[in-house]
Structure 1
Amino acid sequence: MFSLVVQMEVQPERRDEFLAGMAANAEASVRDEPGCLRFDVCSVEGDDNRFVLYELYTDAAAFAAHKAAPHFARWRTVAEQVLVAQVNTPGQLLVTHTAEESA
């Protein structure tokens, strides 16, 4: 599986705009893309303007489909206006454990 960790820094005065745009993108990704398995948006403790995303896709082709989706294009328009910095770290999921597996 293809994984992506994204670190983002947002302009302080545009935090609410970021959160609305990111929430819409994350929801549509999981809902509309069969290859998007997970899309988590996390805050960074102690810094209200930094965020970490964790995205999981069936494979690199599913991630490419994500980047071609209409909701991603809408997100990129928001991102251009609200982000200060972004670092993407792609990888492969090697091991996972969830509470659901234990039930």
Structure 2
Amino acid sequence: MFSLVVQLEVRPGSREEFLAGMTANAQASVRDEPGCLRFDVCSVEGDENRFVLYELYADADAFAAHKQAPHFHAWREVADRVVASQHNTPGTLVATNSAEVAA
């Protein structure tokens, strides 16, 4: 499985626009893309402008398809306005353990 960790910093005053755009993207990704298995959006404690995303796809091709989806393109328009910096770390899922309850 293809994994992606994204560290983002949004411009001051852009938190709400970021969250609206990113939430719409994440929900549509899981709902509409068979290869998108997980899309978590996490805030960083102590810094309201920093976020970490964890995305999990069936494979690299599923991630490539994600980048072609209409909701991804809509998100990129929002990102151009609100994201100050972004660092992507792609990888491969090696092991997973979970006892989660949906938020």
- Tell whether the structures are fold-level matches, with TM greater than 0.5: yes
Structure with greater helix percent: 1
Instruction: State the aligned residue count.
Output: 100
Match of 2:29 in 1: 29
Match of 1:38 in 2: 38
Q: In 2, distance between residues paired with 1:18 and 1:12?
A: 11
Match of 1:63 in 2: 63
User: Which residues of structure 2 form unaligned runs of 5+?
Assistant: none
Match of 1:80 in 2: 80
Q: TM-score, normalised by structure 1?
A: 0.95
What's the CA shift for 1:99? Answer: 1.6
Q: In 1, distance between residues paired with 2:98 and 2:49?
A: 28
Identity of aligned residues (%): 75
Do residues 20 (structure 1) and 20 (structure 2) align? yes
User: 1:4-15 maps to which residues of 2 (within 5 A)?
Assistant: 4-15=4-15
- Root mean square deviation, CA, Å: 0.8
**Cα deviation digits, residues 38-60 of structure 1 (max 9, x gap):** 00000001100000000000000
What's the CA shift for 1:98? Answer: 1.3
Moved over 6 A (4+): none
Task: Provide the secondary structure at the position in 2 that maps to 1:68.
Answer: coil
Match of 1:98 in 2: 98
User: Which residues of structure 1 form unaligned runs of 5+?
Assistant: none
